[in-house]
Structure 1
Amino acid sequence: MSSPLNWHPAKAPQATPLVGRFIRLEKLDPRRDREDLWEIYQGPSADLALWDYLPYGPFVEREDFDHWLDSNAASTDPLFYSVIDLASGQTQGILSLMSIAPAHGRIEIGHIAFGGAMQRTPKGSEAVYLLGKLAFALGNRRLEWKCNNANARSKRAAERFGFSFEGVFRQHMVIKDHNRDTAWYSIMDDEWPAIAAGFERWLAADNQAAEGQVRTLEACRAD
């Protein structure tokens, strides 16, 4: 038997505001966020492919969308955050901390729904960085990322962010009447400092030029 860990349970997240260079994360508030998110998710410029691998959406009826948003806001696991663009003040997406298990030091980033205004910008990466930073500051040992194994975009994102692939749970779920094989990824607490430093170099002003990034996140993490 291995030696005792001499480890204490993590703290549960409380959805306090988290502020970065490009965005701030705040607890999802339908009164503040509802109109922005309806426009982002269902407006003329919406990326409807966003819903392909999520267990809900797209929302044709506004009543269904409002009920979904209200249910998310009332939940504590998943604990939903709004992504608010600092330049415009617009709410441009949501994501959550979920599968929260303080006794085991395990937590997951999931339910990611970033609108088109966040894509091909640093904002989504910064949102993941801020939640990762919080997760480990709370004392967690393990940060998870899970997605449909057919979701190539989410798998590329996990690898880009520094998560390690752990395997596939076959026939893990039935989502929208389709089988879901689930790909599992993780970051451990002893891996986070180097990964966080890579995020910080990538997000720095000297790397985020007006015309785009100077160096990739992977290159910044390799330093």
Structure 2
Amino acid sequence: MDISAMIPELLSALPLTLAIMFVALLAGFCLALVATTFRVRRVPVISQLADLYVSYARSVPVVLQLFVAFYGLPVLAGLFGVPDFLSATAASMLGLSLYHGGYLSEVMRPAYLAVDRGQHDAADSLGYSFRQKIFRVVGPQTIHIALPGYGNSLIYMIHNVALVMYIGAADVMATAHLIMERDYNQYQFQTYLVLAVIYSAMCLIVWLAVRFFERRSSMYVPNAAPIKTTLMASA
């Protein structure tokens, strides 16, 4: 099989790969937002549980988290009489969401804490509600600080999606292995080369998108170190 015949077959599995990735990114972002909120505000018991979740997500290898989601949760559900309802695709989304949420929380929390305390005090002195303070003052600065780390987490997610083949999800990597097995491993180099181009293209798109939003940020200063901004009285 030449490369021209291989590429369409690999690309046919790309929608599933992207679907797993986007669901995990969205669900992981929501989990990270909730976990970060409780970790920053230090709500008794709940904050400790959030810390425990983040520690699990960051300490356990991603492939093991996928195994826990695919093999462990059905066993746990069976103890309560619930039948196995997780497909390989759903387990992939769940496992990667838990991983991404914990990792991203450790991007959001330092970014929030890096905003100068004077910004909070200035917003309070102007009579802003907590919601107004977050959306108008603290949030934009937090987003600017967190963008590089968030970009890295997106790239890590693209890399880790390739692991879902180990629990049977038919993503691009799994399709590539099926192609190689079908052709008796005659075209391993060509197959891996095409895979490298596909994953590199996805990472490049993410990097360009993050770079675009960094430049669109009101705090962006070309060829300069990040600077602290002050809240204007007219904000």
Whether TM-score is above 0.5 comes out as no
By relative contact order (CA 8 Å, sep 6+), the higher-ranking structure is 2
- Determine which structure has the larger helix proportion and give its number: 2
